[in-house]
Structure 1
Amino acid sequence: MEGERDLARLLAALDPRLHSERYSFSTSADARLGDGDFAIVREAEGLTAIRPDPSGEWARISLSVHSSLEAVGLTAALATRLADRGISANVVAALHHDHIFVPWDRREEAMEALRS
């Protein structure tokens, strides 16, 4: 199954899930994922690791809907909902789901915005 592309159906089926762990974004010299690490992103400037961190400043919200990588407008719609409330959003798209990292202290407000 390649995922949903229709924006209206995607928004109706978001079903956002808030993870209980705090996360941090940091530079890394190691390109391997460690136990519990969420992602390693390779950029021209180096590696960025996204991993659980008890002192992390980010919360991860995963969308349960299986979105296609070719879906148009989902990231924009979600970013707009959060931006309207002044909440920053860092989106990581994967093959089956999108994950949004929001400031830890605004996680419940972000969930409310995504559910609306």
Structure 2
Amino acid sequence: MDAKISGESNLQILLQSASPQHNPGKYVFCTVQQPASALLTAAVAIMQENEGTTLVLPQAVADEYQLNYEYIAGWITLMVHSSLAAVGLTAAFAHALAQQNISCNVIAGYYHDHIFVADDDVQQALVILNNLGQAS
């Protein structure tokens, strides 16, 4: 097994190379006890918790299956390949968004960080994230 961790870890480079991109659509967080295979297939993220399985789904799928949700989000992906061991990236963008009263829910994939913000805040969040890279 290779001990080298893949991806960029330098915070300044990460911020300058973040390249945030909006993934079209509206997404919701739902929880179910035993998700049907169709829901698992449709989910863009899955997290097993003690209380149930959290699924991040396209809103249309959640509506089709009559699942409850409270938060309608837009999905932004930072296109830079960030290292899972990188320090400070999440804190930097979460702080910048919080300064403008924008909540964010973050999921780290192997290659990219994925940020879910309230759907109404997507465009402002993209401006803030792009400005982070210019300011660093």
**TM tier, smaller:** over 0.9
Percent of pairs with identical residues: 43
Instruction: Give the Cα–Cα distance (whole angstroms) in 2 for the partners of residues 70 and 64 of structure 1.
Output: 17
Which residue of 1 is the match for residue 101 of structure 2? 86
Q: TM-score, normalised by structure 1?
A: 0.93
Match of 1:39 among 35, 45, 52: 45
Give structure 2 stretches of 5+ with no counterpart: 64-70, 132-136
Cα shift readout 1:73-98 (whole Å, capped 9, x = no counterpart): 00000101100100000000010000
- When the two chains are superposed, the root-mean-square deviation of aligned CA atoms in Å is 1.6
Matched, 1:51 2:57: yes
Please report the TM-score for the alignment, with normalisation by the length of structure 2: 0.80
Q: Which residue of 1 aligns with 2:6?
A: 2
Structure 1 distance, partners of 2:36, 2:88, is 31
Q: Return the match for 1:30 from 32, 35, 41.
A: 35
- Distance apart, 1:26 and its partner CA: 0.4
In the alignment, the residues of structure 2 paired with residue 113 and residue 70 of structure 1 have an alpha-carbon distance, to the nearest angstrom, of 24
Q: Looking at secondary structure, tell me which structure has more strand per residue.
A: 1
Superposition misfits of 4+ residues, deviation over 6 angstroms: none
Q: Quick one: distance in 1 between partners of 2:88 and 2:124?
A: 22
Q: Distance in 1 between matches of 2:9 and 2:24?
A: 29
- 1:31: Cα distance to partner? 7.0
Unaligned residue ranges in structure 1 (runs of 5+): none
Residue 106 in structure 1 maps to residue 112 in structure 2: no
